[in-house]
Structure 1
Amino acid sequence: MNRPSQLAWLFFRTSGRLSRAAYFLGGLLVALVQAFPLYRFTLVAEGTPESQMWAAAFFLAFLASLWSNIVLAVKRLHDLGKPGPMALVLFVPVISIVAFLVLCLFPGQPGPNRYGARTNAPA
């Protein structure tokens, strides 16, 4: 698989499994992509066309990062042998913190499981 299709799989497709490190680092990259337009928005004068452009960029980055965070969590859950819809707990206050820690700290299932033959690969 070439690099662009690997990135598309990592951030936009729910099939396969993902390791703890890949989940954490992918989530960190998503957070940085979201933070950059927000940072730029804070540097320009309010109400200017430039501020509107950065606000729109932040909104688009937020939408893309929301989906990417869900996709990363689904694949991480797959590595733990759990169904993807459990990723919805990441939207429940307080529980989301515990769920995030579980996804970052607990090792996945060794060997193949029903979600894929190996970690960090599509099913």
Structure 2
Amino acid sequence: MDRTRLPDRSDLTWLFFKTSGRVNRAAYFLSGLLVSIIQAFPYYHFKLLPEGSPESETWWSIFVVVVMATLWPLVVLAVKRLHDLDKPGIVALVLFVPVVSIVAFLVLCLFPGQPGPNRYGRRTNEPAQP
């Protein structure tokens, strides 16, 4: 991605839905933050309403749908972040282990990626080139 222009639809599709390539710490954290905000919106509305009300049930259902819809983008981001660390994407499965997921998230946010090209791409924040 060229930093001098806004991302277009294909950049966002790659970032959230395709596992090829690498992302750096900042892109991983900020993209994950965006997904978390999207998840928090229906949860916030659910918590504002009285428990058991039809409106709270609706917002809970919306929250569950949003969380299910955002699981893949979160996995894709973790896979590309692992690629930047020159690790296989399958390691992203540790994000589903409750306590380990916190440590894994911190590692992905804090450890710098491998400088220069690696087997997953020439540069960070772009799809892998064949």
Q: TM-score, normalised by structure 1?
A: 0.90
How many residues are aligned here? 123
Residues 36-58 of structure 1, C-alpha deviation per residue, up to 9 Å, x if partnerless? 00111122344444333322221
Query: SS at the partner of 1:119?
Result: coil
Identity within the alignment, % = 69
Counterpart of 2:102 (choices 97, 102, 106) is 97
Task: Give the structure 2 partner of residue 59 of structure 1.
Answer: 64
Residue type of the alignment partner of 2:61 = A
Name the SS of the counterpart of 2:98 in structure 1: coil
What TM-score, normalized to structure 2?
A: 0.85
> Which structure 2 segments of 5+ residues have no match?
2-6
Q: What is the RMSD of the two structures over their aligned residues, measured on CA atoms?
A: 1.6
CA distance in 2, matches of 1:13, 1:57: 25
Distance 1:109 1:77 in 2: 10
1:41-120 maps to which residues of 2 (within 5 A)? 41-120=46-125
Deviations, residues 67-105 of structure 1 (Å, cap 9, x unaligned): 111111000000010000000111123222221111111
What CA deviation, in whole Å up to 9, does each residue of 1:8-34 have, x standing for no partner? 111111111000011111111111100
Residue 8 of structure 1 is matched in structure 2 by 13
